[in-house]
């Protein structure tokens, strides 16, 4: 069974920085074989896609929603099976619970859920990021 455990959230002032981590276990194939994503959910709102990083087959290309481009950086350490999100110049509107998410196909995932047009079947418990003065 795939397990994702996020950490690194907290309370930060506008303009501050945080680094989120997502420790992963249980993949049937190597961690580098999976595209990984960060999604977030603000109070009273739906899940929102934030960023993705491709698998090795996709050359580990990275993608960001417009509102975080230039401020957030997604990365992965395949030797440690860990996903990261470096968040700089944080804004109040970045306040949300942040989840790492993945589509593992039929191997160890759960029920599919959608974030926009993207589908996943595994996510962690989330880590709270609060940006406030």
Question: What pLDDT does 18 receive?
Answer: 98
> What is the rounded distance in angstroms from the CA atom of residue 61 to the CA atom of residue 74?
10
Where does the pLDDT of residue 109 fall: very low under 50, low under 70, confident under 90, or very high at 90 and above?
confident
* pLDDT average, residue stretch 57-65: 95
In the block, tokens 């944080």 appear at 90
| 106, pLDDT greater than 90 | no
Question: What pLDDT does 1 receive?
Answer: 86
* pLDDT average, residue stretch 92-104: 97
Q: Give tens-digit pLDDT for 20-43.
A: 999 999 999 999 999 999 999 999
Please write down the long-range contacts of 116-121, taking CB distance under 8 Å and 24 or more positions apart.
116/48, 116/49, 118/37, 118/49, 118/52, 120/37, 120/39
């Amino acid at each position: 069974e795939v397990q994702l455990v996020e950490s690194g959230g907290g309370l930060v002032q506008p303009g501050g920085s945080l680094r989120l981590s997502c420790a992963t276990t249980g993949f049937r194939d190597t961690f580098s074989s999976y595209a990984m994503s960060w999604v977030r959910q603000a109070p009273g709102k739906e899940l929102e896609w934030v960023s993705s990083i491709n698998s090795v087959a996709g050359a580990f290309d990275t993608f960001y929603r417009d509102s975080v481009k230039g401020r957030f950086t997604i990365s992965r350490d395949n030797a440690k099976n860990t996903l990261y999100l470096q968040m700089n110049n944080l804004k109040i509107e970045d306040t949300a619970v942040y989840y790492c998410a993945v589509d593992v196909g039929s191997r160890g995932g759960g029920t599919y859920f959608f974030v926009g047009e993207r589908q996943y079947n595994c996510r962690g418990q989330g880590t709270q990021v609060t940006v406030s003065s």
